[in-house]
A and B are shown apart, each in its own frame.
Chain A
Amino acid sequence: MQDLVSPSRETFRRKVLISIRGLTVEFRIPRGILRAVDNVDLDIYEGEILGLAGESGCGKSVLAHSIINQVDPNGYIKSGKILFREEVDVLSLKPEELRKFRWKNVAIVFQGAMNSLNPVMRVGEHFLDTFLAHQSKEKEGKNQSSFSAKNRESDIFSKAKELLSRVRLDANRVLRLFPHEASGGMKQRTIAALAMLLEPALLILDEPTSSLDVLTQKYLLKFLLDLHQKTGQTMLFITHDLAAIAEIADRTAIMYLGDIVEAGPTEEIFYNPRHPYTIALLNSIPSITGKVEDVHPLPGPVPDPVNPPPGCPYHPRCPFSFDKCKSKKPSRFYFDHDKFVACHRFETK
């Protein structure tokens, strides 16, 4: 099983871009405290596409949004540390620093991102607005004010055109459109191009394909892969759809009830899954290949996240569970530096 998905894996300068340690995020809801992310450690390496998969409500979006210190008003980051390039402590940035950090260093394409375009602004203005909001002050500092405003505008537009043509859009037309004049797929691709405008170090894609048609989906994934091959763009790809992960991710992390239960190279996860949850998840996807009879639903209901089960959170649904699973939460068992499973079955015997 040494055959790895992406040839570029060998040449990774395995430099850590984002390092998350002991992150816990909680939400106050009427019924009590909901722990959406529970003491998570995660590294995102420079130049990789990391797939983060899990059922809805497992905390994958909250985890991703925490990277830019953006949590809904009723939630808060209880503890943990997020380091960007081993130096910037994201969680202690001041509001103005945080504003600059977002989009420039880490950009997010939100779920249903097509609705995040301003309906009264043309697509082109979005590019201009984004660029100016993040660049102006810095430009002065770098003494590049010799650029007249006019010049800068055309620079931005040529950059926008290049990005839009990379997502196979007719840039000259799209830049002049209002969002309502574009189709869903066009908007989604526009957003992806917009997110790339400031060349962020990390691009977070939160369920970018879930509202798209299969065809548009395939082309968006292909665009992201092309971009990755050309520029080595680091991406965090969040989805509940394991088939999309199979298509794009170098490395995959599986999340369940606020914690990552298994992670490793994508091929390892798909061909040699170890955690019972990963196995069940993989068996629950209908596909156009394989036998229909081999597909099975996940056992049991998702537990209430306000009152998670003690011990391993998966034990009430797990066919392999034994006594220890009910009382003690399993720690990670590492097979390799980036390959682990959190399951008592793999603890050193």
Chain B
Amino acid sequence: MNPVPLFQLNNVSKVFRVGGSFFRKATLIRAVDNVTFTLNKGEIVALIGESGCGKSTLGRLALGLLRPTSGQILYKGEDIWRMDRKAFREFRRNAQIVHQDPYDALNPMRTIYGSLAPGLLRYHIVRNRREAWERAAELLKHVGLEPPEDFLRRYPSRLSGGQMQRIAIARAISVEPSFIVADEAVAMLDASLRISILDLLRELQQRLGLGCLFISHDIAVARYVCRGGRAMVMYLGNIVEEGGIEDLLREPLHPYTEVLLSTIPIPDPKLTRSRELPKLRSLEVPSAANPPSGCKFHTRCPYASDICSKEVPALKEVKAGRFVACHLRS
């Protein structure tokens, strides 16, 4: 009934081995644990979670930069790790990333043209260097950097953080991808600059019909870019809640979502000071190497009962379009 989604993750897990030697056993860290989700063409989905929850690993899995330990990653219905070289290369062109730190994402020894041209040439978007120059100039115009010729000759050190992030976005869309992962794309930028970058990202996403996985620790930013779209909340490798972002804000179903919401600062002195702190049982996030049994949130959850430490709750649809993995709600 449904057309094949653009992108699909089926029960994907990723386990990292850390340390270990001849004498010592390696520590296993389950960064992504049994995650399933779909992304449709032209859809923007937010992935929200604290640092270390595995959201970046999930992003890199989705791009084919990491090989999952188990589970399948399907692009247009095809498993990306079973594709032939040609198809995989085509997938790579279609899946692009915007990194968190634009200062690290651009090669400081190359001019902006030098950063944009190789992708254009490699994927035969353009035929020669002259066309590459023209195409690069056009891209810079798209991301609001004018006059483009001036920027093309510059080195990254001559640009501000906001300008560099625009270049990073231009580079991501330069090879005409069908979906992008924006990994904390505005976290390094000033609060006042964020909106213009988010506007740009959203405008391009809409115009080019890109699928977008927007990874952020900041629900307010995710809400701005999603505009009523879907959001997923991640905790220690699991998706704990999924649903429309406005529903999620209005009525969080998972206790962790509730906690996250109540800690987001609101730029309104009276409102923000009248809110109560969540009654967490522990402040420290448990180690990913040794996660708690059952529901991973039970060591901190204010509502935890016996079952929570024993059984892993499954992600279930509890209301139309709202999924949550919590024993309280089933």
- List residues of chain A with CB under 8 Å of any chain B CB: 5, 55-56, 168, 183-185, 213-219, 221-222, 240-244, 246-247, 266-267, 270-271, 281-282, 284-289, 292, 295-298, 302
Contact = CB atoms under 8 A, between A and B. Distances in A.
A284 B191 contact: yes
Nearest to B280: A215
B50 A215 contact: yes
B305 interface: no
A18 to B, nearest CB: 24
Contacts, number: 119
B83 to A, nearest CB: 37
B251 interface: no
Given A214-B217, A282-B267, A295-B195, A247 B272 contact: yes
Contacts of A243: 191, 264-267, 272
Contact of B191 (A215, A216, A242, A271): A242
Nearest to A287: B220
B24 interface: no
Given A247-B272, A285-B191, A295-B195, A214 B260 contact: yes
A56 B198 CA distance: 18
23 contacts: A168-B283, A184-B51, A185-B283, A214-B218, A214-B263, A214-B264, A215-B259, A217-B265, A219-B283, A222-B277, A240-B191, A242-B267, A243-B264, A270-B267, A271-B269, A284-B191, A286-B198, A286-B220, A287-B266, A288-B223, A288-B266, A289-B266, A298-B192
Contact of B277 (A218, A271, A284): A218
A133 B227 CA distance: 55
B294 interface: no
B220 A288 contact: yes
B161 interface: yes
Contact of B190 (A56, A246, A266): A56
Given A240-B192, A246-B266, A288-B219, 4 more contacts: A218-B265, A246-B265, A247-B272, A266-B269
Given A287-B220, A287-B266, A298 B249 contact: no
Contacts of A295: 195, 224
A214 B50 contact: yes
Contact of B223 (A56, A213, A246, A286): A286
A50 to B, nearest CB: 14
Interface of B: 50-51, 160-161, 190-196, 198-199, 217-221, 223-224, 227, 249, 259-261, 263-273, 277, 283-285
Contacts of B199: 297
Contacts of B51: 184, 213
A270 B268 contact: yes
Contacts of B271: 289
B39 to A, nearest CB: 21
B131 to A, nearest CB: 29
Nearest to A216: B283
B191 A213 contact: no
Contact of A287 (B190, B198, B267, B277): B267
Given A240-B192, A241-B191, A288 B269 contact: no
B50 A292 contact: no
Contacts of A292: 223-224, 227
Nearest to A169: B283
Contact of B267 (A218, A246, A267): A246
Contacts of B261: 288
A286 B272 contact: no
Contacts of B191: 240-243, 284-285
B231 to A, nearest CB: 12
Contacts of A5: 269-270, 273
B226 to A, nearest CB: 9
Most A Cβ at <10 Å: residue of B199, B221, B263:
B263
A55 B227 contact: no
Contacts of B260: 214-215
B195 A246 contact: no
Contacts of B190: 55-56, 240
A288 B248 CA distance: 11
A183 B284 contact: yes
A267 B269 contact: yes
Nearest to A53: B191
A213 B235 CA distance: 13
Contacts of A219: 277, 283
Contacts of B161: 56
Contact of A270 (B264, B269, B283): B269
Nearest to B144: A301
Contacts of A247: 265, 269, 272-273
A246 B192 contact: no
Most B Cβ at <10 Å: residue of A242, A267, A288, A295:
A288
Given A56-B190, A241-B191, A292-B224, A298 B196 contact: yes
Contacts of A284: 191-192, 194-195
Nearest to B53: A213
A219 B266 CA distance: 15
B263 A297 contact: no
B263 A286 contact: no
B284 to A, nearest CB: 7
Contacts of A183: 284-285
Most B Cβ at <10 Å: residue of A215, A221, A222:
A215
Given A5-B269, A243-B272, A246-B272, A218 B223 contact: no
Most A Cβ at <10 Å: residue of B51, B272, B285:
B272
A296 B195 CA distance: 7
Nearest to A242: B267
A281 B192 contact: yes
B325 to A, nearest CB: 19
Contacts of B196: 297-298
Most B Cβ at <10 Å: residue of A221, A243, A282:
A243
Contact of A241 (B249, B265, B268): B265
**A-B pairs with lowest CB-CB distance, top 7:** A243-B265, A297-B196, A218-B263, A286-B224, A297-B195, A286-B220, A243-B267
